[in-house]
Amino acid sequence: MVSLASAPPVWLRDNCPCADCRDPRNGQKLFQITELPGALAVGAVHDARTPDGAPAREVVWAPDGHRSVYPEAWLGAHLPGAPAAPGDGRTEDDKELWAPDRFAGGLPEADWSAYTTDPAVRAAALDSVLRLGFVLLRGVPVRDRHVLDVARTFGYVRETNYGELFEVRVEAGPNNLAFTGARITPHTDNPYRDPVPTLQLLHCLTNAARGGDSGLVDGFHAAALLRAESPEAYEILTRVPVPFVFADEHTELRAHRPLIGTDPAGRLREIRFNNRSIGTLRLPAGLLDAFYAAYRRFAELLLRPELRLDFRLAPGDCLIFDNTRLLHARTAFAESGDRHLQGAYADIDGLTSTLAVLRREASAK
């Protein structure tokens, strides 16, 4: 039998599942924390059953006499001291950090027709995005704007000043180096936005130019290496807000965020790294020196060939990746050649939700 001795009364009461405390139609709480008695105490505890017959413990509360019935299974899983609480899926704790040799046996990929028809294939592909940071869909129809349909298989397109989608090809008067044949070193997109687009899709329509190979780096793995190799540099990069900026004729965007974002427990949660859009830092001279030394160290680490997964997109490939974790890159290509990708942004909350519902449906079968 589960003991309630470890449970702070206010926590236990806040989790009362009764119909007065939670709307049975949606599970949402019906009371404010301020409406609970200030000096709550567990009055009596009895063995009980839930309405569907599962073993439970009933608490009679002092001073108000309220009654709460907690399933034993819920208590076993949630009382303080129970096995570690799952995270929200976004920090390093919930990821498999990788170096490229992880994919010696092949990239995480799925065939478009299986992806769209088989929920298990779709779930495995979405799981790869959460766990490894990316998946490569193959055999996606080579059709203008189809990247938007890919995004809609798991979530919602994030429209930006670049439009619903962006064309990655050589342009006259480019407002971004991406729209030239230049090499692009590992970076995350749009760090000058807050919130940043958390997912990116790149759909290859043509890749006939010499060059233009793709690269991915696991930014969480790289940051974890920096933490181990140069703890002071890591610490500075988690602490110093960097002014990221983007401006063109119609747009002026700015976000001040550190290169390495951590959660309140200090776990890696978000990488923002883009040498093209770092503005002018305004800090005391000593801190500027320390920041630049740390920034350079992290940049050197991100350029290590042994951290970079190299591959080449072919027409019909669509790469989906976590823009808060992976850095993407491409080699230079001949501007005379034909290379055309269509990109779009989306968000990871939608993908996570789609996967959770797919899993719920699979377990209900």
Contact residues: ligand OGA, CB under 6 A: 168, 178, 184, 189, 214, 328, 330, 341, 343
Residue 21 partner contact from Zn ion, ligand OGA, none using kind-dependent CB cut-offs of 5 to 8 Å: Zn ion
Angle at 152 between CA 175 and CA 125, to 5 degrees: 100
Alpha helices in the chain, H assignment, sequence order: 9-14, 72-78, 112-117, 119-131, 146-152, 219-229, 231-239, 285-302, 348-364
Q: Least distance (Å) from ligand OGA to the CB of residue 124?
A: 25
Q: Least distance (Å) from ligand OGA to the CB of residue 37?
A: 56
Closest CA to 192 of 218, 161, 169: 161
Angle at 361 between CA 357 and CA 365, to 5 degrees: 165
Residue 18 partner contact from Zn ion, ligand OGA, none using kind-dependent CB cut-offs of 5 to 8 Å: Zn ion
- Interface with Zn ion by CB under 5 A: which range of 19-27, 50-58, 107-115, 283-291? 19-27
16 binds Zn ion (CB under 5 A): yes
DSSP state string for 93-133: GGS----GGGGTT--SEEEHHHHHH-HHHHHHHHHHHHHTS
Identity of the residue, 219 or 343, whose beta carbon is nearer to ligand OGA in the bound complex: 343
Identity of the residue, 183 or 296, whose beta carbon is nearer to ligand OGA in the bound complex: 183
Q: Least distance (Å) from Zn ion to the CB of residue 45?
A: 15
Residue 214 partner contact from ligand OGA, Zn ion, none using kind-dependent CB cut-offs of 5 to 8 Å: ligand OGA
Q: Least distance (Å) from ligand OGA to the CB of residue 240?
A: 24
Q: Least distance (Å) from Zn ion to the CB of residue 134?
A: 13
Would you say the C-alpha torsion 118, 349, 187, 152 has a positive or negative sign? Answer: positive
**86 is written with which tokens?**
């799952």
Cα separation, 72 vs 78, whole angstroms: 10
- Interface with Zn ion by CB under 5 A: which range of 57-65, 167-175, 184-192, 281-289? 184-192
Name which position in 6, 11, 18, 239 contacts Zn ion (CB under 5 A). Answer: 18
Would you say the C-alpha torsion 296, 302, 306, 310 has a positive or negative sign? Answer: negative
87 DSSP 8-state letter? -
Q: Least distance (Å) from Zn ion to the CB of residue 106?
A: 24
**300 is written with which tokens?**
């050197």
Cα separation, 308 vs 302, whole angstroms: 8
Identity of the residue, 166 or 234, whose beta carbon is nearer to ligand OGA in the bound complex: 166
Residue 204 partner contact from ligand OGA, Zn ion, none using kind-dependent CB cut-offs of 5 to 8 Å: none
Identity of the residue, 122 or 328, whose beta carbon is nearer to ligand OGA in the bound complex: 328
Collapsed DSSP state (helix, strand, coil) of residue 260: strand
314 binds Zn ion (CB under 5 A): no
Identity of the residue, 149 or 213, whose beta carbon is nearer to ligand OGA in the bound complex: 213
Identity of the residue, 205 or 294, whose beta carbon is nearer to ligand OGA in the bound complex: 205
Q: Least distance (Å) from ligand OGA to the CB of residue 97?
A: 22
Task: State the pairing for strand pair 326-330/184-187.
Answer: antiparallel
Identity of the residue, 56 or 259, whose beta carbon is nearer to ligand OGA in the bound complex: 259
Closest CA to 98 of 189, 220, 246, 215: 220
189 binds Zn ion (CB under 5 A): yes
Cα 56 from chain centre: 37
Q: Least distance (Å) from ligand OGA to the CB of residue 24?
A: 48
- Tell me how far apart the 2 most distant CA atoms of the chain are, in Å: 81
Binding site for Zn ion (CB under 5 A): 16, 18, 21, 189
